[in-house]
Amino acid sequence: MKCSLVNVFSNEKLSGNGLTIFSECGNLSVAEMFAWTQEMRQFESIFLQRVNNQFHARIFTVEEELDFAGHPLLGLAYYLHETYGSEPAHEWIVHTNTKAVTLTSTRSTDGFTAAMNQGKPEFLYALSSRESLPLYTALNLTPPEQEALRSEVITTGLPYVILPVTSHLEAITFNVKDLEPLIAPFGAKFLYVLDVLTLEGRTWDNQGNMEDIATGSAAGPAAAYLFKHGLIEDTVLTLHQGRFLNRPSEILIHLDLVGQDIENIRVSGNVVKVAEITFVD
């Protein structure tokens, strides 16, 4: 079995969000995928299987399997381009547990860029001020003064509570042992704190043990939130993340509109290769 190490949402090594891509791993059990993910200690790892000329991917954190994630699929586009590509640009269809995702990969003199279509966002639930307050309190934050900036659960494959703030990202600390009981009743899997003025975000596992460097699966919902609330004028934006981990990352987002409705969200970023590893038998 082999794996590749790449950094996503950066064009420099040892920056952006790290990813382990496991290939030639069709015989691994779920328990073994968990074990290898925990061994590599990345926020997420992705396991590629090729079946009847179709690409299937399974995504794991050190705690669980995910049906969808952003930066692992973008990193996988790099691997597919490097392994199977012959042209400067390619399109790939990758099957996850729940849906087929279209990825594109482009290599140029400026580096390598991967992009994915996340589809149409779903606005699952708008929290009231009373429902949002425990979430702000749990993270040592104060709700924004603007009443219109309400928290919402939005998904493009993985449902997030988008928790808007207008300052003090640096003040976040966990005052609870687990966010899941606070967000699960609203249909959310994770929580993403979004500074709507600076377009910068932060997110963690629900126990607050590990902060994510750059979260592609949250980028689509974050952009959908900003557009819905009139906080951006353009349909192209850059979301910042990872500053507090000394791994500044940039996530480029395009909104495809039909009238004033978002029909599709495209998330893209640079990818750079770090290492190739071959495991012993």
Residue 24 has a pLDDT of 76
Are 127 and 108 contained in the same domain?
Answer: no
Q: How far apart are the first and last CA of the chain?
A: 8
Are 260 and 199 contained in the same domain?
Answer: yes
Are 104 and 164 contained in the same domain?
Answer: no
Strand, helix or coil at 278?
A: strand
Are 131 and 162 contained in the same domain?
Answer: yes
pLDDT band at 148 (very low <50, low <70, confident <90, very high): confident
Full residue range of the structural domain in which residue 26 is found: 2-119+269-278
This prediction's pTM? 0.92
Are 31 and 58 contained in the same domain?
Answer: yes
For 16, 90, 112, the CA distances from 270, given in Å and listed in that order, are 9, 15, 6
Q: By percentage, how much of the chain surpasses pLDDT 70?
A: 100
- What digits encode the pLDDT tens for the residues 84-96? 999 999 999 999 9
Residue 231 has a pLDDT of 96
Are 261 and 274 contained in the same domain?
Answer: no
Residue 104 has a pLDDT of 97
List the alpha helices (DSSP H) in 190-260.
216-228
Beta strands in the chain (DSSP E): 2-8, 17-23, 45-51, 54-60, 65-66, 89-95, 100-108, 111-119, 122-126, 152-155, 160-165, 190-195, 200-203, 236-241, 249-258, 261-278
Are 243 and 129 contained in the same domain?
Answer: yes
Are 44 and 67 contained in the same domain?
Answer: yes
Cα distance between residue 204 and residue 215, in whole Å: 10
Q: How many domains does the chain have?
A: 2
Question: Is the four-CA dihedral 209, 215, 221, 224 of positive or negative sign?
Answer: positive
Average pLDDT of the residues in 44-55:
92
CATH number at residue 102: 3.10.310.10
- Examine the pLDDT at 258 and tell me if it is beyond 80: yes
Cα distance between residue 93 and residue 14, in whole Å: 28
- Examine the pLDDT at 34 and tell me if it is beyond 80: yes
Q: How many CB atoms lie within 10 A of CB 17?
A: 30
Are 188 and 136 contained in the same domain?
Answer: yes
